[in-house]
Amino acid sequence: MYEKPFTLEIVGPERVVFSGEATSFSAPGIEGGFQVLVHHAPFLSSLAVGEIKVKTMDGRDARYATSGGFVEVRGNHVVALVEAAERADEIDVTRASASRERAETRLRVQPKDIDVDRARASLHRALNRLRIAAKT
């Protein structure tokens, strides 16, 4: 595996989630997952709900649950602008479980004023957060 670094920034609406050097960046593109290593070709992609994985310079893997966003790769500099990203060990499992239960109830009961697509998206995000939290 390449161990040469590139600069990575993962930026959310409220905070910088990661800023530093990395040797690998993997993310869930809307057309499928992808990985970026040093000297990657210029690239722009939309992100889907899923897992972002960063291999840091010390060889550790940092995992993040993301709700989507965009990634730009240019000249050994990667910028991910995310709707939300939580490091696996920061995820509030109780809150994610409650969100999953609310979404499942909405989809099961389906009151007439329910937005089914929104409930499905909420369920998908909650399940993603729980899956990534379980990897810690």
> What does each C-alpha distance from 93 to 14, 89, 129, 131 come to in angstroms?
21, 10, 8, 10
Q: With b meaning 16 or more CB within 10 Å and e meaning fewer, what string describes 116-132?
A: eeebeebbbbbbbbbeb
Q: For the chain, which domains are there? A: 6-88 (2.60.15.10), 92-133 (1.20.5.440)
- What CA–CA distance (Å, rounded) separates 38 from 79? 14
Span 45-54, pLDDT tens digits = 999 999 999 9
Span 103-120, pLDDT tens digits = 999 999 887 888 889 999
Residue type for position 28: P
pTM greater than the 0.75 cutoff? yes
Instruction: Give the pLDDT band (50/70/90) at residue 3.
Output: confident
Q: Of all helices (H) and strands (E), which one includes residue 97?
A: helix 93-109
- Give SS3 for 88: helix
Whose CA is closest to 64, among 44, 83, 45, 78? 83
**Percent helix, strand, coil in the chain (nearest 5)?**
30, 45, 30
Q: Are 129 and 84 in contact (CB under 8 A)?
A: no
- Degrees (nearest 5) of the Cα angle 39, 45, 59? 45
Instruction: Give the pLDDT band (50/70/90) at residue 59.
Output: confident
